[in-house]
Structure 1
Amino acid sequence: MIEVSRFWRDPALPFVEARRVRDGREVCYAAHSHDCFSIGAITSGRSTYLSGDSQVEVGAGTTVVMNPGVVHACNPIEGEGWSYLMLYVDLPWLQARGFALPAQTLSTAAGLYSRLLALFADLFEVDLPDREARLARFFEDLPRYLPAEIDSMRAEHPQLDAAAAFIRAHRADPLSLADICAACGLSRSYLIRAFRQRFGLTPHGYLLDQRVQQARAQLRGGRAIAEVALEAGFADQAHLQRAFKQHLASTPGHYRDAVPTFSRASPLLQVKRCPHVP
């Protein structure tokens, strides 16, 4: 039986983690977001890719990009097999190096795809003395392939932004929709409709997503799942288990117990140019 999914973290590089999925049919996601920058490579097959308000089909040789806070999901196409590699990088580490978030959500540039596969191979080679430097060089070069994001593209809406900020600040508390409405001065019906249009999730969905993100950060430190569940605002461990699996297609235990390295013999880590990508 093949290993469907594996997470990787290394104490020497605490600001980055990776995931390898060998059979995407077994790893399905609800719409969710991350508080880090995410970039990945589709290594075989095809999938749907939802990012913000657009959904497209992506295939082997495609690089996908998820900026922090952007709601997204990748899922199988009618049961077809597909596999991918994902890299998650903490935003403060990137910002310290002057990195600007890209505007594109995907790329079929063969050069970027090859560079990303080479980066994965470098990260998993624990004997390399300059892995952080190689990671930094990749992100220094990324604007050559992906232009920077234009900050003024989204119109301001102070009340909706206040609602989102209130949820983030109180994500571990037993919030009600009435609490959020009172904090931002909007009616229930308008808040639900407009919030979803702006953030891609309902206020309740956004709250759940924030709680999963908090739990994820705590689990990276090896914390007990039951303790993390209560601190993040879940009713109990079973509640966290359900939400975590829906959002991250993984159990909390599988995520927490990440391995220190992937096998260099894995065919997913071999650097090669995809012949059909322009």
Structure 2
Amino acid sequence: MLKGQFQILRCEVAGVDAVAAVTKHSFPRHTHEQYGIGVIHQGAQKSHSGRGMVEAGSGDLITVNPGEVHDGAPIGDAGRAWKMLYFDPHVINNAAKEMNEAGAKPDEFPRPVIGNTYLANAFERLFAAMTNEHPIASTLLREELLLNLLAGVFREADDPVQQQAIPKAIRRARTMIDDQPDLAVTLADLAKEAGLSRFQLLRGFTRATGLTPHAYLMQRRIDLARRMIAGGSTLAQAAIASGFADQSHMTRTFVRKYGISPGAYAAAMI
């Protein structure tokens, strides 16, 4: 049986986070601010993704795009183990610009699950280099490994899925939340910003983003809290600054999204 553990490893590159996890936790619908690439090492999981329901097993590469609503649950009773690298958007965007010369137009990872042993091995080499597991990792090596992995992931695109554009009115409301997630906003505030009625805003926001305005706000708040904790803030400081009613409210939200408590997250930073 797999035992639960969660480890965050410091990376040698700014804007990149590394995570190694073993868990039976079922993650509810949520989003990330970053791009994510990883490999399942043991067990298997199923999840709703931007491409519908998918399953990933041992050896599969998994990806997620910023803002993509997804969940995740183990298949069977044994849980699953994986490693992930999370990239701030500018890291992927800068690499993608360089790939445009080859005729590619990468702007998002095209497939949530990729069964490709070569790419899985490429990820393992990149993870080792990013976390200094590689004994002679250098900036040059890390850059090469990242570009090669991204090129392979973007080549995995099959029939392109047309993503419905988010209406400008909804984008204005979403931006209001993104800019100040710590503020106490009401549905009326968001509707006014969007120039819609409260019902139109609620229906349109949920349809466009996959989350209700409140659920989206909670995602942004817990993302802010996580960044603050990673930066050295106390749990109480992070809770207040990110807009939660109190530390216990932040803790409950944190556990639902990440599968561990914020205290354990802080302790896992090595």
Letter matched to residue 143 of structure 1: A
Q: How far, CA to CA, are the matches of 1:168 and 1:113 in structure 2?
A: 33
Among 190, 197, 208, the residue aligned to 1:198: 208
List gaps (5 residues or longer) in structure 2.
98-105
Query: Does the 8 A contact of 1:192 with 1:203 survive in 2?
Result: yes
TM-score when scaled to structure 2?
0.85
The answer for the alignment partner of 1:120 in structure 2 is 127
SS of 1:55's equivalent in the other structure is strand
Q: CA RMSD in A?
A: 2.5
The answer for the alignment partner of 1:168 in structure 2 is 178
Offset at 1:148?
8.7
CA 1:3/1:259 → structure 2, altered by over 3 Å: closer, same or farther?
A: farther
The answer for the alignment partner of 2:72 in structure 1 is 74
The answer for the alignment partner of 1:59 in structure 2 is 57
User: How many residues matched?
Assistant: 258
1:222-261 correspondence runs (5 A): 222-260=232-270
Offset at 1:226?
0.4
Which stretch of the first structure deviates more once superposed, 180-189 or 231-240?
180-189
Moved >4 Å (runs of 4+):
148-152
The percentage of aligned residue pairs carrying the same residue is 28
Offset at 1:131?
4.4
1:161-190 per-residue CA deviation (whole Å, 9 max, x = no partner) reads 111111112311111111111111222223
Q: How far, CA to CA, are the matches of 1:29 and 1:131 in structure 2?
A: 35
Q: How far, CA to CA, are the matches of 2:161 and 2:266 in structure 1?
A: 34
1:213-245 per-residue CA deviation (whole Å, 9 max, x = no partner) reads 111111111111101111101011111101111
1:93-112 per-residue CA deviation (whole Å, 9 max, x = no partner) reads 33333454322222111111
CA 1:92/1:259 → structure 2, altered by over 3 Å: closer, same or farther?
A: same
Offset at 1:41?
0.6
Q: How far, CA to CA, are the matches of 1:184 and 1:202 in structure 2?
A: 15
Offset at 1:5?
2.2
Which stretch of the first structure deviates more once superposed, 12-21 or 234-243?
12-21
1:47-83 per-residue CA deviation (whole Å, 9 max, x = no partner) reads 1122136112221121111111111122112434321
Letter matched to residue 153 of structure 2: Y
Query: Does the 8 A contact of 1:102 with 1:147 survive in 2?
Result: no
Higher relative contact order, structure no. (Cα contacts within 8 Å, ≥ 6 residues apart): 1
Letter matched to residue 142 of structure 2: L
Offset at 1:11?
6.4
List gaps (5 residues or longer) in structure 1.
261-278
The answer for the alignment partner of 1:83 in structure 2 is 81
Q: Is 2:144 the counterpart of 1:137?
A: yes
Query: Does the 8 A contact of 2:254 with 2:260 survive in 1?
Result: yes
The answer for the alignment partner of 1:269 in structure 2 is none
TM-score when scaled to structure 1?
0.83
Letter matched to residue 173 of structure 1: L
Q: How far, CA to CA, are the matches of 1:164 and 1:249 in structure 2?
A: 26
CA 1:28/1:198 → structure 2, altered by over 3 Å: closer, same or farther?
A: same
